[in-house]
A and B are shown apart, each in its own frame.
Chain A
Amino acid sequence: MSSASQLAESRAPFDPAAPAAGTEETCGHPNSVRATARIRATYNGRVTTLPQLRSDGPFHLRRMRTSGKAARVGIIGAMSAPLGGDRLALDITAEDRAELDVTTAAATLALRGPTTAPATYDVRLTAEEHARLRWLPQPLISAADSNLHQTYTVKLAASSRLLLREEQILGRANEKPGHLVSRIRVHHAGRPLLDQHTAYGDPAPGWDGPAILHGHRAVGQLLVVAPELDVRRAPVLLREGTKDGCAVLAPLAGGPALLATAVAPTPSALRELLDEALRHALGE
């Protein structure tokens, strides 16, 4: 396929000659990318500083202006990724008392690339004692014929705070989605808080049926963890039916946390539901 080979050529300069530390497995394709970007935030007694801000492969990290003691990092896509065979990872740590916000400048688009082998995209989030970490990326779009395995590994200290938003868009406009598999595992104070695995797009069995998505093409979650959420709360239902999208915001069992789960026909309807869920979670 000519477009694919052009893409592969255009990506060649970014293919690191020396693989990133800790990634020893072989890639699915000679043009595939392996990259691990790292952000480490610490608190110096006055403000949050960023002693490590390591861009790699498609992840260009940019420090953004903030007011107050928090640090803010924007991730700018430096190339088209993930494509089939890529091995991407983001390692983000907020050390004791640090306050860190991380966003992405644009949606992440999973494309087929030069191979149908799965790409992997691993996001590791760590918040230490009294730290506050907010991970609010733009949506992840699963384009036709793409194959992406995403994982979230989140480790939270007992007194830490987390706000995590995850939006998945299955296919661009009028397009069949690719295969998108994701797993999120969250540990809070060493205990399992959340473990979920989803698989959408063919060949995942039943993914579009009445038990899983029922025609919806946008699905997302919002996870809020904070010590003060350790009180009994009734679940909040957003929208009665299911056709125009719906969500539930409910407490998790293993720690002071609220999780919103939403499905919607469109990305904008999904964002609306998650924004509304966030307002409820913050008690506004």
Chain B
Amino acid sequence: MSRAALLLLADGRFPAGGHAHSGGVEAAVAHKAVHDIETLEAFCRGRLHTTGLTTAGLAAATAAGCDPLMLDDAADARTPVPALRAVARRLGRQMMRAARATFPSAELDRLAAERPQGAHQPIVQGLAVRSAGLTPQEAASAAAYETVGGPATAAVRLLSLDPLDASRLLARLSTETDAVAAAAADAAARVATEGLDALPSASSPLLDITAEQHAAWTVRLFAS
């Protein structure tokens, strides 16, 4: 299908609820680990190569036609803290509603029926990409970009950073983002022969720990 379909799915204005999440940057700001554009870039780079690679692999494998329910279990095994599993499923549910309205398909309907509380967001995203007639590589690109775009936008609001600096940061990371998406798509292509173990499971201890800390806050600007 059209390239515009990919832009629509990857657009922050696509009504899938992503704007309410900071991708861990709100906790990092509270711990003073992220306080300016340089530390934000380091944060985004770390998230891209961990969460970004893993979610892009899951999205690409779903877009390639792997069983979404098995991928949903694989996503659970790659998400060891309940706070992040809950966020992934909530975002998955919201994306499902938007995806079924924009790119309806029997596969989306089936997953929605089998996971009424929401499947992991990259699984739904991958299936939406597939329903839009796009490729696994494009699913990986959308997922990888989102893992840095979300925190960069959130940090602008949290730290009153210059949005132009944040855009420049995302442009600087674009080559790395493409490389992560390509690695994820390669891994997804190997699932047919090697099984789900071929998918990346890159993880970060601090993102897991601080996500649970953040979920316990009583007052916060972002949901995660």
Contact = CB atoms under 8 A, between A and B. Distances in A.
A185 B203 CA distance: 13
Interface stretch (A83-91, A96-104, A171-179, A208-216): A208-216
A197 B77 contact: no
A202 to B, nearest CB: 13
A99 to B, nearest CB: 26
A262 B206 contact: no
Contacts of B81: 235, 248, 250, 261
Interface residues of B, number: 43
A191 B31 CA distance: 36
A237 B197 CA distance: 30
Interface string B65-89: 0000000011011111111010000
Interface stretch (B11-19, B45-53, B93-101, B157-165): B45-53
A8 interface: no
Given A197-B200, A254-B76, A210 B205 contact: no
B171 interface: no
A195 B206 contact: no
Interface of A: 183, 185-186, 191-199, 204-207, 209-214, 216, 219, 235, 237, 240-243, 246-248, 250-254, 259, 261-263
Contacts of B209: 237, 242, 246-248, 261-263
A-side interface mostly:
strand
A199 B201 CA distance: 11
Given A191-B73, A253-B79, 13 more contacts: A194-B80, A195-B201, A205-B45, A209-B43, A210-B206, A235-B81, A237-B209, A240-B213, A251-B82, A253-B82, A254-B73, A262-B205, A263-B206
Nearest to A233: B82
B78 A212 contact: no
28 contacts: A186-B77, A191-B73, A192-B77, A193-B77, A196-B80, A198-B205, A205-B46, A205-B176, A206-B45, A206-B49, A210-B43, A210-B206, A211-B24, A212-B207, A214-B206, A216-B206, A235-B212, A237-B216, A240-B213, A242-B33, A242-B206, A248-B208, A248-B212, A253-B77, A254-B76, A261-B205, A262-B209, A263-B209
